[in-house]
Amino acid sequence: MMSGKYTSIDAQQLQGSVPAVPDSRPATVNFADSNLQTFPPSGPLGKITAASGPPRDADDSFSKPVSGSDEPQQGGWFQTFTIAAYKPYFDVDTSDVLERIIDSLFPFRGSFNEKTATNPDLYGPFWICTTLIFVAASIGTFVTYVAHKLKSKEWDYDINLVTWSAGLFYGYVTIVPLCLYVILKYFSAPAGLVQLFCLYGYSLFVFIPALCMSVVPLDIFRWVVAGVAGFMSATFVALNLRAHIKSAGERWFLIVAGIFLLQLALAVVLKIYLFTVSV
């Protein structure tokens, strides 16, 4: 009896002597700022700088000059023998070349020089001449082959057609514009040399379909095709140079006559050499 009484009293005294713990806010722990580096770094580190951004297209290195290049910059006439001097004349795409080819097939527009005044190219003229070489050689070979077979004659391939065509077209598109450049400069009506190369190169495109149509084994038809191609090519050159020709004074007629005669002579030479078959 006594032990139970004391036990209950002791429990009451124990509860009264221990105060209740009041509710308090959760403790916060403050840490010092870490010295660890964040990723990615906020500033450039090491030797690599300005590394942000996508990589540059590889084609830009051919169309834009690189500043601070290690290559020595040549000046004067030495620059003519560097590849960098000719890069601007090959800076065209397929749409530009196709548009200029279409203009050459419509010679009476006379707007070719205006469109190419700021960006004359040598890419189109080079491939037009190269295509003409192989078309002329292949068509001429085919015509002679058919002619020999129809007459049951022995036929041998003439490799001279390729070399002759290369000398004719590359020589024509180089020498004739150069001579015209000197003549216009003499008459105080100068035109850009590269512009003349571009103009004459595209003026020869009409001979590609003309050579293909000359496969027809009809001599009068071939003469008509050669005459039309020569007239269209000469008209294309003359109308696009009319401003320079008119400023040459009273002798402008001689320049126009020379342009027409040379283009017609080219057509006649192609007709006689490639499509006059002797067996």
Instruction: Tally Cβ neighbours within 10 Å of residue 130.
Output: 13
pLDDT of residue 81: 67
- High-pLDDT (> 70) share of the chain, %: 69
Q: How far apart are CA 102 and CA 104, in angstroms?
A: 5
**Could you tell me if 245 and 189 are in contact, meaning their C-beta atoms sit under 8 angstroms apart?**
yes
Question: 218-275 pLDDT, tens per residue?
Answer: 889 989 999 999 999 999 998 998 878 877 777 788 888 888 999 999 989 888 877 6
| Range 71-94 average pLDDT | 69
Closest residue by Cα to residue 223 from 180, 186, 275, 172 = 275
What ranges do the domains of the chain cover?
119-275
Question: 23-62 pLDDT, tens per residue?
Answer: 555 555 554 554 544 444 454 444 444 444 444 333 333 3
Instruction: Tally Cβ neighbours within 10 Å of residue 65.
Output: 9
Q: How far apart are CA 190 and CA 180, in angstroms?
A: 9
Region of 35 (left: φ > 0; alpha: ψ -120 to 50; beta: rest) is: alpha
Identify residue 259 by its one-letter amino acid code.
I
**Could you tell me if 173 and 196 are in contact, meaning their C-beta atoms sit under 8 angstroms apart?**
no
pLDDT of residue 257: 87
Kindly report the pTM of this predicted structure.
0.68
Question: 140-196 pLDDT, tens per residue?
Answer: 888 787 777 777 677 777 778 888 889 999 999 999 999 999 988 888 877 889 999
pLDDT of residue 207: 94
